[in-house]
Amino acid sequence: MKTRKHNFKIPPQQIRGIQLTSVGHGDKSDPRYVNETIHFTQKTNIGGRITIRADVPTIMTLVKYVAQTRPNSH
């Protein structure tokens, strides 16, 4: 898997969902890191989604941030 860097901003309202893709990375599985695919509500300059690799606390921060922008979230 080729790693490419992207530098862009997107409002959290344009994130349709976050989906667990895999735990670890290939044969070197490390449960501290997960691969998550972020799906956008519309196409961006990188397409309709991006997959990131991050530690679990970082992903949870992202999930909480996006949830705060949803209607009826507490």
Residue 30 lies in a domain: yes
Residue 1 lies in a domain: no
Residues 23 and 18: their CA atoms lie apart, in Å, by 14
What total of structural domains would you count in the chain?
1
Residue 8 lies in a domain: no
Instruction: Give the global pTM.
Output: 0.74
The percent of residues in the chain predicted with pLDDT above 90, rounded, is 23
Q: Which ranges of 9-73 would DSSP assign to H, the alpha helix?
A: 56-68
Residue 28 lies in a domain: yes
Domain, as residue range, for 51: 13-68
pLDDT at 20: 85
Q: pLDDT-derived band of residue 26, with 50, 70 and 90 as boundaries?
A: low
Amino acid at 27: D
